Amino acid sequence: MTSKKVEKRREVSIRFCGDSGDGMQLTGTKFTDETALAGNDLSTFPDFPAEIRAPAGTMAGVSGYQIHFASEQVYTPSDSPDVLVAFNPAAARANIGDLRPGATLIINVDAFNKKAYQRAGYTEDPLPDLRERFHLVEIPLTTLNREALSGLDLNQRAIDRCKNFFALGLLSWLYGRPMKSTERWLESKFKGDVLEANLRTLRAGWAFGETTELFPVSFQVPAAKIESGTYRNITGNQALAWGIVAAGQLMDRQIFFGAYPITPASEVLHEVSRHRNFGVKTFQAEDEIAAVSSSIGASFAGNLAVTVSSGPGIVLKQEALGLAVMVELPLVVINVQRSGPSTGSPTKTEQGDLFLALYGRHSESPMPVLAPSSAGDCFTTVLEAFRIAVKYMTPVMVLSDSYLANSSEPWKIPDVDTLPRAPIQFATADDSGNEGFQPYERDPETLARPWAIPGEAELEHRIGGLTKEPVTGNVVYDPVSHAEMMRLRGEKVDRVSADVPPVEVDGADSGDLLVLGWGSTLGAITAAVDEARKAGQMVSRAHIRHMNPLPSNLDEILGRFKHVLLPELNTGQLSMILRSRFLIDIQSLTKLAGQPFLVSEIRDAIDSILNNS
Amino acid sequence: MAAPASELTRKDFVSSQDVRWCPGCGDYSILANVQRVMPEFVDKKEDVVFISGIGCSSRFPYYMNTYGFHTIHGRAPSFATGIKASNPDLSVWVVTGDGDGLSIGGNHLLHSIRRNMDMQILLFNNKIYGLTKGQYSPTSNPGTRSKSSPQGSIDYPLDPISFALGAGATFVARTIDVDATHMQQTLRRAHAHKGTAFVEILQNCPVFNDGVWEDVQDRKQRVENSISLVQGEPLVFGTPGNLRGIVMEGGDPKVIDLDDEDDPVSKGVVVHDEHLESTAYAFALATLTRPECPLPVGVFREQRKATYEQMLEQQIEDATSAQGAGDLHALLHSGDTWTV
Average pLDDT over all residues of chain A: 96
C-alpha distances (whole Å) from B309 to each of A244, A295, A308, B46 are 21, 15, 21, 20
Task: Show me where the domains of chain A are located.
Answer: 5-220, 232-418, 431-499, 505-612
Chain A residue nearest residue B322, CA to CA: A277
Partners of residue A347 on adjacent β-strands: none
Minimum-distance CB partner of A302 among B51, B86, B340: B86
Residues B114, B257 within the same domain: no
Question: Phi-psi bin for A447: left (phi > 0), alpha (psi -120 to 50), beta?
Answer: left
A6 C-beta neighbours (distance < 10 Å), count = 10
Residue A509 CB burial class (10 angstroms; 0-12, 13-18, ≥19): exposed
CB contact burial A226-247 (16+ within 10 A = b; e otherwise): eeeeebbbbbbbbbbbbbbbbb
Residues B142, B242 within the same domain: no
Average pLDDT over residues A324-328: 98
Task: State the smallest CA–CA distance between residue A73 and chain B in angstroms.
Answer: 14
Residues B64, B191 within the same domain: yes
Structure ipTM over 0.85, yes or no: yes
* Cβ contact A281–B316 (<8 Å): yes
pLDDT cut 90: percent of chain B above it: 94
In CATH, what number is assigned to the domain containing residue B88? 3.40.50.970
CA pair distance A366, A372, nearest whole angstrom: 20
* Cβ contact B86–A256 (<8 Å): yes
Q: What are phi and psi of B141, to 5 degrees?
A: -65, 145
pLDDT tens digits along A41-80: 999 999 888 887 778 888 888 999 999 999 999 999 999 9
Task: State the smallest CA–CA distance between residue B161 and chain A in angstroms.
Answer: 21
Q: Are strands A83-86 and A11-19 parallel, antiparallel or unpaired?
A: parallel
Residues B121, B257 within the same domain: no
* Secondary structure element (H or E) that encloses residue A585, with its range: none
Residues B190, B248 within the same domain: no
Domain that holds residue B156: 10-231+272-308
The answer to whether A182 and A198 have CB atoms below 8 angstroms apart is no
* Cβ contact B72–A319 (<8 Å): yes
The answer to whether A202 and A166 have CB atoms below 8 angstroms apart is yes
* Cβ contact B67–A285 (<8 Å): no
Q: What are phi and psi of A271, to 5 degrees?
A: -65, -45
Residues B169, B106 within the same domain: yes
Q: Sign of torsion, CA A600 A602 A605 A606?
A: negative
Average pLDDT over residues B32-52: 97
Per-residue confidence at B1, pLDDT binned at 50, 70, 90?
A: very low
Name the 3-class secondary structure at A465. Answer: coil
pLDDT tens digits along A96-121: 999 999 999 999 999 999 999 999 99
Residues of chain A with C-beta less than 8 angstroms from the C-beta of B67: 454, 460-462
* Cβ contact B324–A277 (<8 Å): yes
The answer to whether A350 and A320 have CB atoms below 8 angstroms apart is no
Minimum-distance CB partner of B85 among A298, A320, A455: A298
Confidence check: pLDDT of A333 > 70: yes
Query: Pick from A416, A402, A435: which is nearest to A569 by CA?
Result: A402
CA pair distance A530, A541, nearest whole angstrom: 10
Minimum-distance CB partner of A294 among B61, B72, B81: B81
Confidence check: pLDDT of A184 > 60: yes
Residues B194, B251 within the same domain: no
Chain A residue nearest residue B17, CA to CA: A474
Residues B86, B51 within the same domain: yes
Confidence check: pLDDT of B291 > 90: no
CA pair distance A562, A515, nearest whole angstrom: 11
* Secondary structure element (H or E) that encloses residue A466, with its range: none
Angle at CA A528, nearest 5°, toward A523 and A534?
125
* Cβ contact B75–A290 (<8 Å): yes
Contact partners, residue A212, CB within 8 Å, separation at least 6 = none
Residues B18, B149 within the same domain: yes
Per residue, the 3-state secondary structure of chain B, as one string, reads CCCCCCCCCHHHHECCCCCCCCCCCHHHHHHHHHHHHHHHHCCCHHHEEEEECCCCHHHHHHHECCEEEECCCCCHHHHHHHHHHHCCCCEEEEEEEHHHHHHHCHHHHHHHHHHCCCCEEEEEECCEECCCCCEECCCCCCCCCECCECCCCCCCCCCHHHHHHHCCCCEEEEEECCCHHHHHHHHHHHHHCCCCEEEEEECCCCCCCCCCCHHHHCHHHHHHHEEEECCCCECEEEECCEEEEEEEECCEEEEEEECCCCCCCCCCCCECCCCCCCCHHHHHHHCCCCCCCCEEEEEEEECCCCCHHHHHHHHHHHHHHHHCCCCHHHHHCCCCEEEC
Q: Are strands B135-136 and A230-235 parallel, antiparallel or unpaired?
A: unpaired
CATH class of A505-612: alpha beta
C-alpha atoms less than 13 angstroms from C-alpha of A412 in its C-beta half-sphere: 8
Per-residue confidence at A548, pLDDT binned at 50, 70, 90?
A: very high
C-alpha distances (whole Å) from A329 to each of A270, B82, B85, B144 are 26, 14, 17, 41
Average pLDDT over residues A576-589: 97
Chain A residue nearest residue B112, CA to CA: A286
Confidence check: pLDDT of B26 > 80: yes
- Helix axes A180-189 and A192-211, enclosed angle (nearest 10): 160
pLDDT tens digits along A6-19: 999 999 999 999 99
Mutate to test the interface with A, among B79, B314, B317, B327 (most CBs of A within 10 A): B79
Average pLDDT over residues A250-257: 97
B154 located within any domain: yes
Residues of chain A with C-beta less than 8 angstroms from the C-beta of B66: 460
Query: Pick from A397, A405, A263, A283: which is nearest to A334 by CA?
Result: A397
Per-residue confidence at B5, pLDDT binned at 50, 70, 90?
A: low
* Cβ contact A462–B62 (<8 Å): yes
Mutate to test the interface with A, among B78, B109, B309 (most CBs of A within 10 A): B78
Q: Provide the CATH topology of domain A5-220.
A: Pyruvate-ferredoxin Oxidoreductase; domain 3 (3.40.920)
Confidence check: pLDDT of A2 > 70: no
Second CATH level (architecture) for the domain A232-418: 3-Layer(aba) Sandwich (3.40)
Residues B261, B131 within the same domain: no
Average pLDDT over residues A527-537: 97
* Cβ contact B329–A416 (<8 Å): yes
| The pLDDT value given to residue A433 | 82
CB contact burial A337-351 (16+ within 10 A = b; e otherwise): bbbeeeebbbbbbbb
| The pLDDT value given to residue A245 | 98
Average pLDDT over residues B98-111: 98
Common-topology check for domains A5-220 and A505-612: no
CA pair distance A596, A569, nearest whole angstrom: 7
Minimum-distance CB partner of A462 among B68, B324, B326: B68
* Cβ contact A301–B328 (<8 Å): no
Average pLDDT over residues B20-36: 97
Residue A210 CB burial class (10 angstroms; 0-12, 13-18, ≥19): middle
Residues B251, B139 within the same domain: no
Contact partners, residue B290, CB within 8 Å, separation at least 6 = B215, B225
B102 located within any domain: yes
Residues B113, B220 within the same domain: yes
B315 located within any domain: no
Q: How many domains does chain B fold into?
A: 2
